[in-house]
Amino acid sequence: MLGVRRKIVAGGSSLLTSGRSFQWTRPAVSAWRSYSSAAKEMTVRDALNSALDEEMSADPKVFLMGEEVGEYQGAYKISKGLLDKYGPERVLDTPITEAGFTGIGVGAAYYGLRPVVEFMTFNFSMQAIDHIINSAAKSNYMSAGQISVPIVFRGPNGAAAGVGAQHSQCYAAWFAACPGLKVLAPYSSEDARGLLKAAIRDPDPVVFLENELLYGESFPVSAEVLDSSFCLPIGKAKIEKAGKDVTITAFSKMVGYALKAAEILTKEGISAEVINLRSIRPLDRPTINDSVRKTNRLVTVEEGFPQHGVGAEICTSIVEESFGYLDAPVERIAGADVPMPYAANLERLAVPQVEDIVRAAKRACYRSMPLAAAA
């Protein structure tokens, strides 16, 4: 596999080697907690880089592959320094052929390795969709549990700025619709670090949806988050801000927008509870339903298209499990139902803004005129 030598160890697993034996001990996974004490700040880029570094150091079966991840140190510098530290056998520059290197990654996972496959943008993952869905996601079920596929597909997802329709789509709902995949979407540095570690350690294929515009954002991190044993549970949302009047769910970049909207709403006497989903599949339905049963109102926020979106699934969950608790119709905020425009003014209109969330929350709380009445 691209010049990588293998060493078979007990149990039939394969290690990437450079001619010497490895002894690997997995650090204990820390229990999930809400960390409050912030010792320093870290960018999302550095959080992802440190998570990759620590997992590659802890487990010689972990390796990174993708376009420009080695010599160029990553298109977004997520893999900075990893080639020098781990060498070309574990940080592999690939040709511009997503179908090719994704298939190689899935095959390596079949063999017992733990590949991390980087897409320069998840829009390019469409070139490799057969390997992700038919090969990675379905093999464990079709083999009656005999084949595990411990692979991570990661890279920037959703809108950036001025890159047009073919580089701006959010694929959260696409991948979350497929049984056999786990789908994660970090917002903060804590999310990025803890969830990427969890994804690499997981025995199943994980789609890890980052956001290009968040890479340079800094967030406070505690000493616990910086510990090498830190790991967040897959399938658990985080309440970023507690509230009592309306629940706002969001993921990735939209969490920041939801928090800004909550600040504005506070000044107008509305207490909003903001939930950072973190995990799209599995979805933390209990946390969402518990919140709505408290606030009696729901606003979902996402960058993706509205039809068959993540917000639609959340709304359905609330209707099925908590309908009797609702005091207002649910509100969905999503991207416009059009391919992303290239013009900056139209692009802004095509993605949710803070003021859209504020208006929706006020409608849910009967603090403004409903859209139907305004029309």
Instruction: State how far the Cα of 241 lies from the Cα of 256, in Å rounded to an integer.
Output: 11
Strand partners for 155: 209
Alpha-carbon distance values, 230 to 112, 259, 285 (Å): 24, 25, 24
Q: Which one of 167, 217, 224, 313 is the catalytic residue?
A: 167
Bridge partners (DSSP) listed for residue 8: 14
Helix (H, G, I), strand (E, B) or coil at 279: strand
Is 263 assigned a catalytic role?
no
φ/ψ (deg, to 5) at 119: -100, 135
* Cβ–Cβ < 8 Å for 160, 130: no
54 is catalytic: no
Count the neighbouring beta carbons within 10 Å of the beta carbon of residue 84: 10
What is the b/e burial string over 32-63, where b = at least 16 CB atoms within 10 angstroms of the residue's CB?
eeeeeeeeeebbbbbbbbbbbbbbbebbbbbb
Among residues 98, 118, 212, 331, the one annotated as catalytic is 98
Contact partners, residue 277, CB within 8 Å, separation at least 6:
185, 237, 249, 250, 251, 283, 284, 310
- Residue found by looking up tokens 């959340």 in the block: 314
Rounded to the nearest 5 degrees, what angle is found at the Cα of 204, between the Cα atoms of 148 and 175? 130
Cβ-proximal residues to 267 (8 Å cutoff; 6+ apart), any chain: none
Tokens of 207: 């789609």
Catalytic positions, written as ranges: 98, 167
